[in-house]
């Protein structure tokens, strides 16, 4: 069964045109918050709200766009400021890339090192994401996670830069990303006849991205918040039960 608890964001043009002709997977560390907020589509919901500035239809107000996503977009575009990007540019960028959080459980505090078990589970999920998305370039926005990402990615071009909230500087990050971008372009030119092989899970993640509403945060009525959290808990329990069943079957088969 799948090790992926949080479906990645997969832009509508990721597998067709991609970003500058490449399938680019952006990898960050984790979502932060309480376990009650975990749900399978949290990543597409967050990108919709915090990267694209969209409002949940029943929310009393929308969440503010977050600099985390603005910095990722700006650095990947080899720019030094997000000031020149308008809404249409943000939409175009995020529809061309995929975005995934390595850790498959919510972390309470970004200043605390995640437990070893969380890194191991994340590595399994990341390996699955690589198999499904077949990226031609991985950009890892976490220096402390870089070695783990590179180990799983193997020979794939991987750019490792600082987390957008920690000692991040475009002057340092951009050259690293561009160097691996050029390497990825060169490797792609050397390959012939290797088309993207769409898997059923890819279509599932793509549909999840397209169908996800923007995150609403606390901006729903108390009744709706309680109902949402109950639904999320049910969805995650079912997903985790399927994963445990898969592990048990694998153990018997082994």
pLDDT digit string (tens) for 51-92? 999 999 999 999 999 999 999 999 999 999 999 899 999 999
Q: Are 64 and 139 in contact (CB under 8 A)?
A: no
* Residue found under tokens 């990722």: 72
Burial class of 186 by CB neighbour count within 10 A (0 to 12, 13 to 18, 19+): exposed
Amino acid 252: pLDDT? 42
Whole-number Å distance between alpha carbons of 160 and 5: 24
Q: Which of 87, 90, 63 is nearest to 77 (CA)?
A: 90
CATH number of 9-253: 3.40.470
Residue 13 token pair: 């043009």
pLDDT digit string (tens) for 8-53? 999 999 999 999 999 999 999 999 988 899 999 999 999 999 999 9
Average pLDDT of the segment spanning 139-161 = 97
**Confidence at 246, pLDDT banded by 50, 70, 90:** low
Work out the angle between the directed axes of helices 116-133 and 200-211 (0-180°, nearest 10): 100
Q: Domain limits of the chain?
A: 9-253
pLDDT over threshold 80, residue 245: no
pLDDT digit string (tens) for 177-217? 999 999 999 999 998 767 899 999 999 999 999 999 999 99
pLDDT digit string (tens) for 211-236? 999 999 999 999 999 999 999 999 99
């Amino acid at each position: 069964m799948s090790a992926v608890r949080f479906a990645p964001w997969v832009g509508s043009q990721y597998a067709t045109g991609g970003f500058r002709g490449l399938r680019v997977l952006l990898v960050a560390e984790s979502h932060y918050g309480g376990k009650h907020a975990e749900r399978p589509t949290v990543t597409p919901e967050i990108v919709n709200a915090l990267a694209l500035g969209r409002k949940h239809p029943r929310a009393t107000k929308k969440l503010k766009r977050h600099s985390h996503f603005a910095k990722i977009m700006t650095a990947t575009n080899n720019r030094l400021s997000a000031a020149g990007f308008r809404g249409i540019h943000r939409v175009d960028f995020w529809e061309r890339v995929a975005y995934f959080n390595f850790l498959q459980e919510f972390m309470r505090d970004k200043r605390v090192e995640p437990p070893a078990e969380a890194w191991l589970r994340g590595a399994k999920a990341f390996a699955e994401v690589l198999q499904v998305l077949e990226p031609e370039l991985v950009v890892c926005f976490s220096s402390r996670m870089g070695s783990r990402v590179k180990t799983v990615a193997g020979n794939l071009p991987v750019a490792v830069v600082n987390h957008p909230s920690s000692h991040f500087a475009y002057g340092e990050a951009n050259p690293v990303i561009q160097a691996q971008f050029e390497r990825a372009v060169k490797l792609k030119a050397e390959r012939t006849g290797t088309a993207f092989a769409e898997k059923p899970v890819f279509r599932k993640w793509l549909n999840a991205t397209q169908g996800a509403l923007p995150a609403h945060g606390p901006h729903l009525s108390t009744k709706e918040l309680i109902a949402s959290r109950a639904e999320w808990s049910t969805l995650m329990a079912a997903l985790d039960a399927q994963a445990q069943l898969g592990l048990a079957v694998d153990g018997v088969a082994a």
